[in-house]
Copies of this chain bind each other. A is one copy, B any other.
């Protein structure tokens, strides 16, 4: 009985989040309202507010719950190739329609609503950082990264350039651009040691 009720609650939660995304894609984030989500999902407004304190929190949860698995890191044993693959997937998902404009709306909301900012970090940025660090730590242990590399900088170095391109420079992110950035982050911009004799 408790299990059945738990499963009904989970179903309803899923239905509310799916409806939020559907409506968000139809009307855009700015015009999305919790009232409209409740009406279409056949749920009470209070049911929604009990679980999510704001439109931003509901929206972020909806965006992430349904798509998180896509942003895991592969482990083929080649860290640079695995990062490329994961970042291509993240860029496809988060910077292009249908979800791109909605993710961008969440980022804007996070600048204005501390609850959304906190949810963004707890639900997405933090967990992505953990996954990124776990994959990079393994690579570092295998000698595929500099032994000096400070893993706590990973997200800033490997995500920062792409957020900058989209949000600040407002340039489209191509796979070719992603690959060039990853290559530069691996190689470093400093002068290279001269090749050793015969190298």
Report A's interface with B, CB cutoff 8 A.
80, 104, 107-108, 110-112, 117, 120-121, 125, 143-150, 153, 155-157, 159-165, 167-170, 180-181, 184-193, 196
Query: Once the chains are docked, how many angstroms separate the CA of A156 from the CA of B164?
Result: 6
Q: What are the 10 closest A-B residue pairs judged by CB atoms, nearest first?
A: A188-B188, A160-B164, A160-B160, A156-B161, A186-B190, A160-B161, A149-B189, A108-B111, A187-B188, A196-B196
With both beta carbons as reference points, the residue of chain B lying nearest to A197 in the complex is identified as: B196
Copies of this protein in the complex: 2
**Contact A188:B186 (CB < 8 A) given known A125-B168, A161-B153, A163-B163:** yes
Give min CB distance, A177 to chain B, whole Å. 9
Q: Which residues of B sit under 8 angstroms from A167, Cβ to Cβ?
A: 107, 111, 163, 167
Q: Hey, which chain B residues are within 8 Å of A155, CB to CB?
A: 164, 169
A150 vs B187: C-alpha distance when bound (angstroms): 11
A sample of 29 inter-chain contacts (CB < 8 A) reads A80-B190, A107-B111, A107-B168, A108-B108, A117-B170, A120-B168, A125-B168, A125-B169, A143-B191, A144-B190, A145-B191, A146-B188, A147-B191, A153-B161, A153-B181, A156-B161, A157-B161, A157-B184, A157-B185, A159-B164, A159-B168, A160-B162, A160-B163, A160-B165, A185-B189, A187-B190, A193-B193, A193-B196, A196-B196
- Give every chain B residue within 8 A of A187 (Cβ-Cβ): 146, 148, 188, 190
Nearest Cβ in chain B — how far from A138, in angstroms?
14
Q: Which of A117, A169, A187 has the most B CB atoms < 10 Å from its CB?
A: A169
